[in-house]
Structure 1
């Protein structure tokens, strides 16, 4: 579980970071279909964001670069209180006003 400060996550969430939980793609299923938004990530490869087609809430993120994984947004969990981020990734991209949220470790 991690907090991502990359610019893509900032733009997708409208905040300074994204709270993500990685899972093996073959262990994940979702009941209803997400609407998918494709963009080019920082690696230059495609990334895909899954959104609820009714309310627009972000649910998942995955990429060509790490095609065996899917990342679930912590806020989309039935019980987000069970989410406990262990590290920050791309901390150098953190906005000055969001630096307090960088997890050192």
Structure 2
């Protein structure tokens, strides 16, 4: 189970894309402002967002108004990563939230959608 997190244009209802997102050999899908996040991290997300809804606290909110909230959550986490993405560690969650922060900076005019 996982969270599909993306930024959409509130007028067109389409997922926003960016030439700066994705990988070096990116295709159109990689350019979408989108992140898939494992549900395994939900307990840490609830803790750092100080909310039982965890990452859902961002849902349907304008991205520009959530950047500080994401940065504050990142700052609460240590850097101790586990090599296995699926294992729960603060460092793994921090790594994922840094990706989320990156797409937030690229899509500040958009709105979060989390399913």
TM-score normalised over the length of structure 2: 0.29
Higher strand share: 1
Q: Which has the higher helix share?
A: 2
Q: TM-score, normalised by structure 1?
A: 0.31
